[in-house]
């Protein structure tokens, strides 16, 4: 496993897992799988997924994504002249929204994952409150060191802890035996200001409830603003119209000063389906 923070090597391993930022596009693979391809639309990290979709060298590539990304990804593949096959999957367990407001004091049960959006501070404060009530918690947030995150996951898997307290980091790359997702908060800071959760964010997080093979049904509950979560779960996704692209590595090989290369990049025209990273 290769991430920007650590490398875990296993002798004789024939498979490799890495974060999309650490992808070696010069290496050839028999089969490659890129998850969360809807992230091509993210203005901060999206160019990394675009690079993976366009630049991976493999005999067979599996691109996994939310429904709203299907059209843009198909356009990208067609522009490359590659062939493709679309397989659509349905959720294996039913997801049920609980219609009454959630009470942290009365309704907390084993298997709950409590979601907050003030990042580390809120996670630790809520976890400390629950620990003082005798409830053992695993905590997960974006800046948690990898080894610590694995330990928190292990404790929940082995039932040393009863609930998870997490930010929206739980929605990317973590498959935990969660019975119920509980939105303690429904507003988040997105780098500019605080806003309500978008439907795609609600679905991404809520979908962590009801792991197939462990539960027949997953549940979603809300401390406040039930209508926002209800609307987000039932609303049809808006198709992604743009994929972000980053500064091409090949430009750096040209015999020119960096400021000249940046000007060349800024002046390059891009197909309508792409947006240059950082261009506003």
Give the three-class secondary structure for 134.
Answer: coil
> Each residue of 143-173: pLDDT tens digit?
888 889 999 999 999 999 999 999 988 887 7
Question: Distance (Å, rounded) from C-alpha 122 to C-alpha 185?
Answer: 10
In this predicted structure, the answer to whether residue 119 has a pLDDT above a threshold of 80 is no
> Each residue of 242-278: pLDDT tens digit?
999 999 888 888 999 999 999 999 899 999 999 998 6
The average confidence (pLDDT) of the chain is: 92
Largest CA distance in the chain: 67
Which pLDDT score, from 0 to 100, does residue 23 have? 94
**Structure tokens, 160:** 């040393």
Question: Distance (Å, rounded) from C-alpha 168 to C-alpha 141?
Answer: 8
């Amino acid at each position: 496993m290769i991430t920007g923070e650590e490398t875990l090597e296993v002798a004789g391993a024939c498979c490799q897992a890495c974060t999309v930022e650490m992808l070696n596009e010069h290496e050839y693979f028999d089969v490659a799988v890129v998850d969360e391809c809807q992230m091509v639309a993210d203005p901060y990290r999206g160019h990394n997924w675009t690079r993976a979709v366009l630049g991976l060298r493999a005999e067979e590539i599996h691109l996994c994504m939310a429904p709203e990304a299907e059209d843009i990804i198909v356009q990208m593949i067609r522009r490359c002249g590659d062939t493709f096959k679309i397989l659509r999957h349905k959720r294996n367990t039913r997801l049920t929204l609980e219609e009454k407001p959630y009470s942290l004091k009365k309704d907390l049960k084993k298997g709950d994952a409590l979601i907050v959006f003030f990042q580390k501070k809120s996670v630790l404060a809520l976890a400390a409150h629950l620990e003082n009530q005798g409830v053992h918690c695993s905590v997960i947030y974006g800046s948690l060191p990898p080894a610590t995150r694995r330990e928190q996951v292990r404790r929940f898997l082995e039932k040393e802890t009863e609930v998870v307290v997490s930010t929206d980091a739980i929605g990317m790359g973590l498959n935990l035996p969660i019975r119920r997702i509980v939105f303690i908060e429904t507003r988040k800071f997105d780098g500019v200001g605080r806003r309500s959760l978008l439907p795609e964010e609600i679905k991404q997080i809520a979908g962590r409830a009801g792991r197939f093979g462990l539960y027949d049904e997953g549940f979603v509950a809300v401390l406040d603003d039930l209508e926002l979560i209800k609307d987000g779960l039932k609303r049809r996704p808006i198709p992604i119209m743009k994929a972000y692209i980053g500064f091409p590595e090949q430009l750096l090989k040209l015999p020119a000063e960096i400021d000249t290369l940046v000007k060349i990049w800024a002046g390059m025209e891009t197909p309508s389906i792409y947006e240059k990273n950082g261009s506003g």
